[in-house]
Structure 1
């Protein structure tokens, strides 16, 4: 069998134990040679003859999947599936799996770290000292504030726990979960507009779907307190980046931390480079520990499906 592996963090270590175990199980393993997510056209060239894919953030469109003459499984190396056309996969008999929870802790820790980075201007101060300057730092404290969590799944709940640990009061919005989940976590449930009005920090942890695109738009940005910090470690497109830039320029919000962009790499993002924006390269899940968990789980899922067995992590199965 032949398997294509595309996640950049996994391909950087071609002789890793995870990839060696995959080679022993399937035979031929082909690695993404580009050092970035593969485009639709690159996948169209690469997928013929491939039985399974360990998939990063590549564009598995209907056209790309149509080029796959033997493909049986796309095992997502991560939790999001918005880059995979699930209907097309289902119609072609391709199972799609994901790795829920494998990178939750890593993303949660980055979200909290980015909050501090914006509040205290840490990247700017670091750059100044490296350049030989000695500026007077100016920032704001987080203790005593309200931390709003949009999306109360595994990552959102971990973020809420850590927000409480730094002396903030977490509140959350998630229309998909029952009240019992919020009660068990000791976190107040709010509707989205109320959460925006009350949040000194607002952190996004929802998938990108048609109904969540630009979830934080001009109207909702205007609801935020004037000193609010917005954090996006989830998916690009959840924030209207042009509206967020306008809110920053007008002084309506304090700052933005962003790890996921509407277009990646974000060469045209209006947020990148702004003095009150902290930008990271979609690296929320990229800790050594999370990479190991995602590698193991996605490879296990792929091998399970190729053996003709059902994966508990399947999000799309053949019709």
Structure 2
């Protein structure tokens, strides 16, 4: 898609805050080819501080944003900004009420990176269950440990958050014949029945699941919902996977659970502070830690970037 009416774009400056987009030459070329007056990218190629974000957005009419916090404090200092296009699918970093107050449109497309995230979650399930990650590191350290873990096939898997990504991981798990327990705030009874899923409370999932995979936004109600209390309810062989948002898991409590064999293992791809600063946590042998790559498979980077561009083009054509 390309804007046809050049009068719409002659005076528009487009800013791209997200690092993955700014690093992708093909995406940068694509948006440059739309004919905008000026396209600014994230030159430092790292997450902006709030002051850096404000200084950057102050130059922009429209911006493509990733995980940047878009709140009242930011918006009150960037009066030129008229719209933001979300790169990615998580929206909990955007204060929609503040955007309405400041007349900033939020443009977004859901589900474009779901397979990238769900494949990572499945990979972590297999790697931790069969102890691929653990024994590989042990062997590199000279320890020949032939403990092969447990199969994923036939196990009870708890999916907390049954949106685009939750549904996709359920699809990927079908060949494994798992008993899948699901929890979501939205009533999806017909979907559950069609797919042989068992609706359960979070507490039931904590108590009964062998593997728990989290796919929820970060809200006040869900802040630290994985904590000492919930971890203590889990089986000793349980595995917890968070490819969603930092802050859903209390990292100190998770560290306690992993160190004391309360649960068998965990994988986290998102952190409250990124990059994470707790070296004791990330060095644990039964914890897979990835640098927030869930949505960053090459195919997903392209899909999210093109969706963000298309949303801007549609916005400009409409206006």
What is the aligned length? 306
Deviation at 1:159, TM superposition (A): 1.0
Structure 2 regions of 5+ residues with no counterpart? 1-11
State the partner residue of 1:79: 89
- Alignment equivalent of 2:101, drawn from 84, 91, 94: 91
Deviation string, structure 1 residues 31-74 (Cα, Å, up to 9, x no partner): 11222221211011111230111111122232222221221111
Tell me whether 1:202 sits opposite 2:212 in the alignment. Answer: yes
In the superposition, relative to structure 1, how do residues 137 and 7 fare at CA in structure 2: closer, same or farther (>3 Å)? Answer: farther
Distance 2:278 2:312 in 1: 36
- TM-score (ref. length: structure 2): 0.90
How big is the shift at 1:82? 1.7
Aligned to 2:17: 6
Q: How does 1:100-179 map to 2 (within 5 A)?
A: 100-130=110-140, 133=142, 135-141=144-150, 142-179=152-189
Partner of 2:15, secondary structure, is strand
Q: Is the 8 A contact 1:37 1:56 kept in 2?
A: no
Q: Identify the structure with bigger relative contact order (alpha carbons < 8 Å, sequence gap 6+).
A: 1
Corresponding residue number in structure 2 for 1:34: 44
CA distance in structure 2 between the aligned counterparts of 1:98 and 1:252, rounded to whole angstroms: 40
Confirm or deny that 1:250 pairs with 2:260: yes
Whole-Å separation in 2 of the counterparts to 1:41 and 1:10: 21
Q: 1:4 to 1:137 in 2, by over 3 A?
A: farther
Following the alignment from structure 2 to structure 1, what is the Cα–Cα distance between the partners of residues 267 and 108? 26
Given candidates 13, 21, 45, the residue that maps to 2:30 is 21
Match of 1:54 in 2: 64
Query: 1:229, CA displacement in angstroms?
Result: 0.1
RMSD: 1.7
The TM-score with structure 1 as length reference comes to: 0.90
State the alpha-carbon separation in 2 of the partners of residues 152 and 59 from structure 1.
Answer: 25
C-alpha change, 1:254 and 1:129, in structure 2 (3 Å) is closer
- Structure 1 Cα separation of the partners of residues 88 and 240 of structure 2: 23
- Bigger Cα displacement from structure 2, 57-66 vs 147-156: 57-66
Looking at structure 1, the residues matched to 249 and 293 of structure 2 have their Cα atoms a distance apart, in angstroms, of 18
| Alpha carbons 2:237, 2:264 under 8 Å: kept | yes
Task: Give the conservation status (yes or no) of the 8 Å contact 2:16–2:22.
Answer: yes
Distance, in Å, in 2 between the alignment partners of 1:248 and 1:208 is: 23
**Given the alignment, which residue of 230, 236, 242 partners 1:220?**
230
Residues 235-276 of structure 1, C-alpha deviation per residue, up to 9 Å, x if partnerless? Answer: 001111111111112211000101011211111265311111
Alpha-carbon distance, 1:144 to partner: 2.1
Moved more, 112-121 or 202-211: 112-121
